[in-house]
Amino acid sequence: MALSIKNRKIAVVGVGAVGASTAFALAVSGLATELALVDVHKAKAEGEAMDLAHAAAFIKPIQIYAGNFEDCRDAGIIIFTAGAGQKPGETRMDLLKTNYRILKDCLTQMALTDENILIIASNPLDVLTYAALKATGLSPERVFGSGTVLDSSRFRHILSEHCGVAPRNVHATVVGEHGDSEVMLWSLADIAGTRIDHFCELVGVPPIKREEVDKQVRNAGYEIISRKGATYYAVSLAIKRICESVIRDENTILSVSGLVDGHYGIDGCCLSLPSIVNSRGRGYPLELPLAAEEEAALRRSAEVLRKAIASLNL
């Protein structure tokens, strides 16, 4: 059952660059009827809310305001973007201890129930998703991260540029950690039902240099941060797309991050796998037939995440 009109309330916790961009994307989308912006710096949340609310004449009716943690309790979706941002030269894992403390402090003030869906977008995303799942005690389908939805879009963009087709016609997925150990699923990548390499032959473009594309996708965030200090536009649209699938009960397959329980022999962590997303949250992840080297890389990615989780002593 899709979220009812009264539950089309979304709370964004943390209104830094990612949170504010997400709020803008949601306001323009018309998905929500109510948008609460929550931040420890109340004046910042108030300023962002005022700025967005002044667009009332240009968007569909929506109530936008600066709220507090109590405003999360009756929200259909809570998007968590709070925490320290990645600086040039830092990895996502470098943010772990700081952002875990922020996450834990915020969650203790929310008192969430299984009426809420919690989407984690702060880094290191997969580890914080697992920590949020443990801290809230919510069912695994109600707590998940934005995962590699953005990474998969980056993968599709690069392939579409090379092949000269629209990104929407490229089916390509990134799985595992939203980070350095993520895995590009080349064995399942296709255009119009045709394997990528064969498609290149059909349309007369040069073969794809897989290692080069892999590096571009994996390092995309670092490259953007080195130039402009942060990434926020594309991830905000990725989050909007996830919310769209939840609110409209779409059953869309998205590579969100959530608990894995025996998939590919992996457990004890959250990572991204293609999963059906609908009004109940993240459905059971799909176990697709991977190439042997991809499955091995996915297990290595899981091990990276398990080690990071162990460091938190959850």
258 labeled part of a ligand binding site: no
Our answer to whether residue 54 is catalytic in this structure is no
* Amino acid in the structure at residue 25: A
User: Per the annotation, does 75 bind a ligand?
Assistant: no
| Cα 14 to Cα 48: distance, rounded to the nearest angstrom | 11
39 is in an annotated binding site: yes
66 annotated to a ligand binding site: no
Does the annotation list 122 as a binding residue? yes
Q: Is 149 annotated as a binding residue?
A: no
Q: Consult the annotation and say whether 14 binds a ligand.
A: yes
Measure the CA–CA gap between 304 and 71, rounded to whole angstroms: 35
Q: Annotation-wise, does 203 bind a ligand? A: no
**Residue of 162, 178, 198, 263 marked active site:** 178
47 labelled binding-site residue? no
Q: Is 279 part of any known ligand binding site?
A: no
Q: 151 labelled as ligand-binding?
A: yes
146 is in an annotated binding site: yes
* Other Cβ atoms within 10 Å of 161 Cβ, number: 11
Is 84 labeled as ligand-binding? yes
162 is in an annotated binding site: no
Catalytic residue annotation: 178
- Known binding residues for beta-D-fructose 1,6-bisphosphate are 156, 171
- Known binding residues are 14-19, 39, 44, 83-84, 86, 92, 99, 121-126, 146, 151-154, 156, 171, 231
- Known binding residues for substrate are 86, 92, 123-126, 151-154, 231
